[in-house]
Amino acid sequence: MLEAEYRAARAGAILLDRDARGRVLVSGGDRRTFLHAMLTNDIAGLAPGRGCYAAYLTPQGRMIADMRVLDIGDVLLLDLEEAFKDRVLEQLDRFVFAEDVALGDVSSTISEIGVHGPAAAHLVRAALEEAGVNVPGDIDALPEYSSLRSTLQGEPLIVAASRDFADSGFDIYTGAGVAEPLAGALLQAGAVKASPETSEVLRVERGRPLFGRDMDEETIPLEAGIEQRSVSFTKGCYPGQEVVARNQYRGTLKRRTYLMTCDSPVAAGAEV
């Protein structure tokens, strides 16, 4: 079964249940400038339909979490590991003073479906059009972290480009009540439901570290090799910025994360 799922990811498209991830909405007139001062990437420069990958750090430059930040118009959507969501919410809320900012946990009301593989764009468009959704624009041309917004049976619908598991892929966010029928339509259109084991193989092959497994609260973004995607070295200050800049420009980094190919299976924690 895993082999069939893997083949589908390489030649067609797979369907992933992403509901276990955490989702947070950030609203208010100061939402961009507030997160710009908190996260490692350029949030102030985002516009509706654009997004980025970013990290939230301690003042010592260690990671609290990593996340995808999607600008979906009147709000920002944060997509992060569920296990670290509450800490992120608590830490960010501590820094909201007079700013017009509100943080809301929508993990239980907004569902997330992943569709990844070379046929992903075709299947997503086919399933949505079958459901009566007018898909705006060419979703196959969306840069990573960019998104399109529509509605599905009265519920908000966000289609965001992702490259976490394949060269082409999307994470779809919509109301929990319509997500299951949409997943069924995607399967009927030709997607193959894939297990967490298959998605893990694909993620590792893509060189995308997972927070809580490949990087943790002791990791500096540069050690995980995510700085090209997650860090703006031209923006202003944010917690941990001095540590990140020092490691970048002075070459003081003591460890890095690399992708290795082995001839036989290797257990986690084994010496190589």
Side-chain half-sphere of 250: how many Cα atoms within 13 Å? 9
Give tens-digit pLDDT for 224-237. 999 999 999 999 89
- Does the structure show a pLDDT above 70 at 1? no
Residues contacting residue 261 through CB under 8 Å, at least 6 positions apart: none
Rounded to whole angstroms, how far apart are CA atoms 228 and 208? 12
Contact 158, 173 (CB under 8 A): yes
Q: What is the pLDDT of residue 216?
A: 95
Query: Beta 14-17 vs 192-193: how paired, if at all?
Result: parallel
Q: How far is residue 156's CA from residue 137's CA, in Å, rounded to a whole number?
A: 17
Kindly report, residue by residue over 52-63, the tens digit of the pLDDT: 999 999 999 999
3-state secondary structure of 139: helix
CA-nearest of 101, 50, 105 to 73 is 50
Instruction: Report how far Cα 35 is from the mean position of its chain's Cα atoms.
Output: 16
Helices (H), the chain: 2-11, 31-38, 85-94, 120-130, 176-189, 196-205, 221-224, 227-230, 241-250
- Tokens at 57, concatenated: 């750090």
Residue 101 in contact with residue 89, Cβ under 8 Å? no
pTM of the model: 0.94
Q: Which amino acid is at 64?
A: I
pLDDT in the model for residue 6: 97
Domain limits of the chain?
Answer: 2-204
Q: Tell me: the pLDDT tens digits for 125-165?
A: 999 999 999 887 788 899 999 999 999 999 999 999 999 99
CA–CA distance, 226 with 247 (Å, rounded to integer): 13
What does the pLDDT look like over 14-54, one tens digit per residue? 999 999 999 999 999 999 999 999 999 999 999 999 999 99
What pLDDT digit, counting tens, does each position of 161-213 carry? Answer: 999 999 999 999 999 999 999 999 999 999 999 999 999 999 999 999 999 99
Domain 2-204 has CATH 3.30.1360.120: yes
One-letter amino acid for residue 35 of the chain: L
DSSP H helices, 137-253, are 176-189, 196-205, 221-224, 227-230, 241-250
pLDDT value for 266: 80
